Amino acid sequence: MIYELRTYLIPEGRMPDILARFASVTMPLFERHGMEVVGFWTETGPGARNALVYLLRFPDEAAQRRAWDAFRSDPAWIEARARTEAHGPIVDRVISQNLAPTTFSPLQ
């Protein structure tokens, strides 16, 4: 099992847009493509960035690649991205890290 930690740095004022896109478009597409979401967070407290952070779980890296390839080529995603970014990007930067659980992690 692997986990993918994704952090999206969001332009000022665009957090409602990215949250709406995830709720109405991205989540159903993740489900369609077998992408298991563990959780979503926004940063809070001192030093918090305007960021959306989420964690996905995949059986292995091959499954992860297949899922992302299918997601990115899905016509519904292509249309939604174009529509939701018609007035400019809603993500400045994506940081993606693959994580492997330790033997003592409750997330295995």
Q: Does some domain include residue 43? A: yes
Q: Which helix (H) or strand (E) holds 8?
A: strand 2-9
Q: Looking at residue 75, what is its pLDDT?
A: 98
Q: Does some domain include residue 108? A: no
Q: Does some domain include residue 104? A: no
How many separate helices (H) and strands (E) can be counted in the chain? 4, 4
| Residue stretches of the chain with pLDDT short of 70 | none
99 strand-pairing partners: 3
Among candidate residues 60, 58, 62, the one with its CA nearest the CA of residue 30: 58
- C-alpha to C-alpha distances, 99 to 1, 14, 55, nearest whole angstrom: 9, 28, 10
Question: What mean pLDDT is reported for the chain?
Answer: 96
Is the backbone of residue 34 left (phi > 0), alpha (psi -120 to 50) or beta? left
The answer, as to whether pTM is greater than 0.85, is yes
pLDDT in tens, 69-80: 999 999 999 999
Domain that holds residue 15: 2-99
Q: Does some domain include residue 65? A: yes
Q: Does some domain include residue 105? A: no
Q: What is the number of structural domains in the chain?
A: 1
Q: Looking at residue 61, what is its pLDDT?
A: 97
Q: Residue 85's domain is classified under what CATH number?
A: 3.30.70.100
Q: Looking at residue 87, what is its pLDDT?
A: 92
Q: Does some domain include residue 77? A: yes
Q: Does some domain include residue 107? A: no
Q: Looking at residue 108, what is its pLDDT?
A: 72
